[in-house]
Structure 1
């Protein structure tokens, strides 16, 4: 595997009962690349990310992180998850912990970083997104957009090799979406490696290096944003784009 490849999925299959959600997914993510996965509800997008983060087991295939098959049952799951940052649709901040404690928890508990160093990193990141004054606040003091930005900061505080973002704006009011997407755009500019699902076509067009269209558990089309969004080839993609604003 090339040193530039962070993640490679080979023949990934996952079924829930009789329903096969992922049907032989092949996908490669290179270092510093931002890939946006698009598709209709039920196409397998969220399940795809969950298999990468080992929240869902797979039925067949390989999930290679920096060349190691992390789908192997003998793998250290906790150590592997520590290498991957994840942000889901819901913010999942601990309500009884301050913003600062939320951001530093993984750094201290999982990575063994000293409290002073973890807090210094967290404060720097919070300052960068304009939330430095909220370090001592509890999540219920923050808007949805602010909470989701804190969740992203929590995910990147440990400098993960790969960042997974699952529809991170879907639970937000429209006026707050820009706050979170602006942060993702900044992460791209800083060289983060991101695999994300999104329904924001304009954002995918402007930020993604590659767009992957998932249909009924299969990658049926992928390429540069302009090619996928402006010159779709697969009939399912044509139909999908006719229903959204691209």
Structure 2
């Protein structure tokens, strides 16, 4: 079996006396979509931030294509070039055009010539349905459009792994669908994705594997039909009952 694109091994993250991640281990293989679910405060976002090396680990390892990128001797900025991350907030630069937002990292970090970076960015914006807004500014876009630009920006340097952190949680309900439709297209195109989400229906339809976190621990992991349909662990069942009662599954 080939090496996983991502391998998280025994990751621990503490803030003071509070343990947010308690020995998390999981693999994400090439072309696989893994969704991470759990209550608020379960550690979903912290896990993605640790994978992207935005948080220093207290213990454990993060391997990308077999390389321990969490090793302090590894340049984190270089390691992050293999990963693209999209956050809950869009984090677009308001003073820059849509096109400049998407081309910034390729031009500044990867030293891609402007003409090539813009050509690639326009292709990405076309794929997310926003080529006609390339010259506009973030404030002129809806929330859903801004999030699609953020996804295009994350894809601009062809990362091996795409990290999506609750990317629909800040959107109005009517805008959620357009963003999830784009993620579905990326999944169908073979992108390798680790996604924290509260969209259970989407996880059921698109994920290859669902991971349930509770209190910073990985409680259950498996195909969506098993974890969401016939969960084994009592805590998973309790969580899903609350989701069903809220009409979200």
Q: Please give the range of the TM-score, normalised by the shorter of the 2 chains.
A: over 0.9
Task: Report 1:96-107 matches (<5 A).
Answer: 96-107=95-106
1:52 equivalent in structure 2: 51
Cα distance between partner residues in 2 of 1:62 and 1:77: 13
Residue 149 of structure 1 deviates from its aligned partner by 0.3
Task: Report 1:22-37 matches (<5 A).
Answer: 22-37=21-36
8 Å CA contact retained: 1:8, 1:64: yes
User: Is structure 2 residue 70 aligned with structure 1 residue 71?
Assistant: yes
Task: Report 1:21-170 matches (<5 A).
Answer: 21-170=20-169
Larger CA deviation: 62-71 vs 136-145: 62-71
Residue 168 of structure 1 deviates from its aligned partner by 0.1
Residue 4 of structure 1 deviates from its aligned partner by 4.1
Displacement over 6 Å in runs of 4+: none
Residue 114 of structure 1 deviates from its aligned partner by 1.1
1:196 equivalent in structure 2: 195
1:20 equivalent in structure 2: 19
Cα distance between partner residues in 2 of 1:185 and 1:157: 18
Aligned length: 245
8 Å CA contact retained: 1:3, 1:66: no
Larger CA deviation: 91-100 vs 112-121: 112-121
Cα distance between partner residues in 1 of 2:206 and 2:2: 23
Which structure 2 residue ranges, 5 or more long, are not aligned?
none
Cα distance between partner residues in 2 of 1:14 and 1:124: 38
Cα distance between partner residues in 1 of 2:25 and 2:104: 34
Cα distance between partner residues in 2 of 1:167 and 1:129: 18
RMSD: 0.8
8 Å CA contact retained: 2:31, 2:191: yes
| Structure 2 length-normalised TM | 0.97
